[in-house]
Structure 1
């Protein structure tokens, strides 16, 4: 069983909460942590921008990644939402089993 953490930023707490809740309710993720207070600096449309954001750390089974990404993209207000997949190489077996079990559509 393999797992992944999806890294996604949101423009505000309400968006982060809506996406996190949907992913867990729809069993696309076992857990989503919300880290408010993130300050991002980035280039967008030829300008350097700075924004306050909320970081989501989305824990899911590797075979649920495509569906989780599609769901986030459908719900996200950004034209190009940040979605990075961080592969989990190892971890506590019981926790990884839990992530896999909670990410099952048929559970």
Structure 2
């Protein structure tokens, strides 16, 4: 059975930052796919004040085995002091898609 699939969410301050985070995760095989979503407006409390900011959400498809490395890679590439990083377990999904996520997050096979 493939490793448990996770949907990890984060938000970047702009499209360039979102693209950098997405590319780093997919290039390192820590994510099979990252969807860069349409910009949104976020309203949140930060350091005692209510703030508003335009952000670009990312939906990251990975496995539970890679979560720690995904979190570290996001933190390394993310410009925020405290980025949103939340993971939601995927309880059900198209079996072929879930297997694809597991396969694409494995190291490439080498032929001897």
User: 1:81 is matched with which residue: 57, 67, 83?
Assistant: 83
Structure 2 residue 54 is the aligned partner of structure 1 residue 49: no
Q: Distance in 2 between matches of 1:66 and 1:105?
A: 16
Mark the structure with the bigger radius of gyration. Answer: 2
Task: Tell me how large the CA RMSD over aligned residues is.
Answer: 0.9
Gaps of 5+ in 1: none
Partner of 2:41: 39
The 8 Å contact of residues 7 and 83 in structure 1, kept in 2 or not, is answered as yes
Please list every run of at least 4 consecutive aligned residues from structure 1 whose deviation after the TM superposition is greater than 6 angstroms: none
Structure 2 residue 49 is the aligned partner of structure 1 residue 59: no
Residue 59 of structure 1, CA deviation: 0.1
Gaps of 5+ in 2: none
What is the TM-score of this pair, normalised by structure 1? 0.96
Q: What is the CA deviation profile of residues 67-97 of structure 1, one whole-angstrom value per residue up to 9, with x for unaligned ones?
A: 0111000110000000000100011110000
Q: What is the CA deviation profile of residues 21-74 of structure 1, one whole-angstrom value per residue up to 9, with x for unaligned ones?
A: 110011000000011221100001111000000000000011111101110001
Give aligned pairs, total: 107
What is the TM-score of this pair, normalised by structure 2? 0.92
